[in-house]
Amino acid sequence: MIYSWIFGALAELIDNSRDAGASRLDISIESMFLKKEDTYVPVLCVIDDGHGMTYDDMMRMISFGNKGPNKQCPDKIGRCGVGFKTGAMKLGKDVVVLTQTSSSGSVAFLSQSFNEEKGNVEIPVVTYRKEGQHMEFDLSIQSEATAKYHLNAIKNFSPFTKYYLGEKIGLFGEQDTGTQIYIWNLDKWGTNYTLEWHSGKSSENPMRKGRGDILIRSRRVRSRQGQLSNKVKSRPLAKTLNNTSIMSGEIMGMTIVLTLGMSKVECERMNCGIFLYWHGRLIEPYKRVGGQKHSADTGRGLIGVADITDLIDEEDGHSWVLNNKQGFKD
């Protein structure tokens, strides 16, 4: 699976937080010291306050070759267990995942750098269980020797020391659950990083010291100078349209509701088309229909919004959405 657009890779991580019931998601760039290279490196941080992952959940997420759809979770966006691996590896070469549930915690290290000279891919994972207010190695899952070996690998090849891991675990907050993803050796576009960021003002929030707001460097995105934000507000596309008309019809026995309206911004950009959603996730934007296929002036600025979840999902758990969630299967 290849992500032609890095937004798709970021969206995979956001999907996982949504599926975990997170009410807060922080995405930032933080400078961390990498012992192996003896220098500070930029690290993409994705932190949520969801319910976290058990050891089995974690292994399903990081293990290769898990392509079967999760039939038990029809309302989840992530079903095949391949999005995190391909998304994270598009964003950077190395990633550490910290996750914590109400009764356990795990640290996993998925790294191209660590495996460069190895014949077989090795993914160090350390799992803990809660004992009162403390965390101890879960010896029902790994031996103490294995846990220490994996922990040393994480400390030697990542920016995380034993104490830095403890500091990050403290970010889980009052609910004491959630997942944190840290990605470094970030993808580059030429000599520059694909991700571009500006340092935030530390006076605004002491917790954001050393972090930066993120822009995307891409042929399909224009970065605007001074575009900084500490909080992203959700704005449903349908509510931004003017002169809207709502209509419904049946396709293969399924009722589909379509909202049509005019967008001044899209008109100026000479854009038009239908935005197709699945479980609230945008899968295909600017899908041109009718005369729009042949002329940019036909329906210029006319935007449609439709959620086609019921049409795409089948009763057996199969979905007609591509694994990278950037299109539909034929």
Partnered with residue 244 across adjacent β-strands are none
Which pairing describes strands 302-307 and 273-278: parallel, antiparallel, or unpaired?
parallel
Backbone angle region of 280, left / alpha / beta, with phi > 0 → left and psi within -120 to 50 → alpha: left
Give the C-alpha separation, 164 to 167, whole Å.
Answer: 5
Give the C-alpha separation, 109 to 154, whole Å.
Answer: 6
Mark the ranges of the chain whose per-residue pLDDT is less than 70: 1-5, 64-83, 173-175, 199-234, 317, 323-324
Tell me the whole-structure pTM to 2 decimals.
0.74
Tens of pLDDT, residue by residue over 44-56, are 999 998 999 999 9
Give the C-alpha separation, 262 to 300, whole Å.
Answer: 9
Tens of pLDDT, residue by residue over 25-44, are 888 889 999 988 889 999 99
In order, the DSSP letters of 6-39 are HHHHHHHHHHHHHHTT-S-EEEEEEEEEETTTTE
**For the chain, what are the domain ranges?**
6-216, 237-312
Pick the closest to residue 45 from 159, 126, 155 (CA basis): 159
Q: What is the pLDDT of residue 158?
A: 94
Q: What is the pLDDT of residue 21?
A: 84
